[in-house]
Structure 1
Amino acid sequence: MTPTPLRLQAVDDVGHAPDRIVDRVLARQDRVAPSARATWRRLLALLADRRGDPASDQLCAVLANLVGIVAFGDAEDFAASAGLHDTLGERRLAVLQQRAARLLEQDAERRWSALACHRWLTADPSVPGASTCAAVAHAFVLTGIESVPEPATPLASVRELIEVATHGTVDEWRSHLSAVAASPWGADGDHLLRLARRSESPALHVAMEEVVTLCRELRRLHERTQVARHIRQCVARSGVSQREFATWVGTSPSRLSTYASGRVVPSATMLLRIRRASRALAQRAAGEISSPCGA
């Protein structure tokens, strides 16, 4: 029987426990290319300091997986990335990956994490976990981007966009995308999309469209969270229970609960009604008025 190529081997037996991920990466030490040996030595040093400490188990697994994706790119590495995503959650994994990248990338170029993102985004669709790996790459780049300063010099040409996309670091990507994340429907996103279209690279155009779309989804989620928080504050300031507050705004307690949790975004008129009722009830509680008004 002809052996199945390693990249396409079944990965059903690949465990996603932290120690298992580390062990399976270390077992392939004999395949480390000369260009990856400095990073490999750095991985071994980091594991020697941290492995065995339960508080560092997850970080060790993420470190090993980040190295394995670039050094080997086997099916089991992609499966491990997907498993970490499912186990830790997208945001937690991204935060750990960003920390792992800072620990691993001691050179000025800091290209290892960018190469990992390229691997995740271009994973063979036949490899288990490949579809999840695209989400892993996007989260790695976009998580925490709201605190990243915008670049001093924005991208002005197709050549510059291609250069950053092909040879830039994750930090550079995050810098150029920070303006898009801050205002996803603004001119910056449209500008980068125009450059990507003119690049005549379908892959770059698709990648840019996906990133802009994700920035918009993240902004919608953030706005939904802000609205829900504001509603909870209005109810708290009113001085009455959430059930009683619902009667003041003409809705059911269950419906108000969906507004307060963020599961449903109220209409603009309902939001105005919630604000007015909160103010009126707070004033009544303070003895400034004796009867409800403005609801």
Structure 2
Amino acid sequence: MSWIRDIDRADIVGGVIDLRTVDLNLLVDLDALLATRSVTEAARRLNLSQSAMSGSLARLRRLFDDPLMVRTGRALTLTSRAEALIEPVAEILRLTEVVLGDKDEFVPATATRSFSISASDYATAVVVAPLIRTLSAEAPDVTINVRPRAADVPSLLRQERVDLVIEPRETMGPSPLPSTSLFRDRWLCMLDASVHQGTVLDPERYLALPHLVYSIGQDLQLNLADRHLADLGVQRRVELTIESFLMVPLLIRGTTLVSLVLERSTQLLPLTGLRLVDPPIPVPDINEAMYWNPRNTDDAGHRWLRSRVAATAAALDVGQAG
């Protein structure tokens, strides 16, 4: 334990630290700092002032004799020592919670807490938006932060950069992460009704048209339907790619473009002058689910959030959120 510097030598006997001399609350602060890589975000997560969190970081730096977080450009980067602490600190806190038991109560009407959800704009519109309408009355002091999707979802949850991730099971594949299925959706083709009036969209006609492709994330990852067609070796003329499904109707109108869209999203979009038909080349449905860090499975607030997301998704097919 030679890396500890914040403890008087008299408090170390035979190489064992007298824990009575250590403020173990610093581990909670450290966990938040490691997860968020931000003094501001860590303070917000723990409902502390930024100055208080800065003070904790200073004490932690003395404790570990390591800067822990260093500035790289405008962002903070973890040192190798800090990276090595991520999982041990999280495990210590998890075991502490197990030992002490879940005695916390979460009362939505009076709770003040912030949750982060990683979701595509499609999932945000379909399930997070009606969720917010419910929570604004049920839990007025609870804040929901919607974060963009990430390529490495397990890392996103392991580092607790978000509380929940909403992703298609087809994207996640087999995963050890705890999860709950939310809803299913199918793909349709969207075209301009006047341009394609009376046209039968068979496979030959479909492949002859210019295509608008909805891509996802900074790496422009194809959506599941377009990826399926690519895997089949289907050759299409992609004329336009975008990152937001909300723009599809605006860009389709007055053009010969065709695009694959999810049926639930079309219920939220202005469809005047547009035509929806089944894809002439079948594509599999998607199955959206929510995933979380197993450490949070028994957290009272987290359980409440998951139950509200699941209830909102269950209400989609009956036309109400709930």
Larger RCO: Structure 1 or Structure 2 (Cα < 8 Å, ≥ 6 residues apart)? Answer: 2
TM-score over 0.5 (shorter chain): no
Structure number with the higher strand fraction is 2
Superposition TM-score, scaled by structure 2 size: 0.29
- The structure in which a higher percent of residues are helix is 1
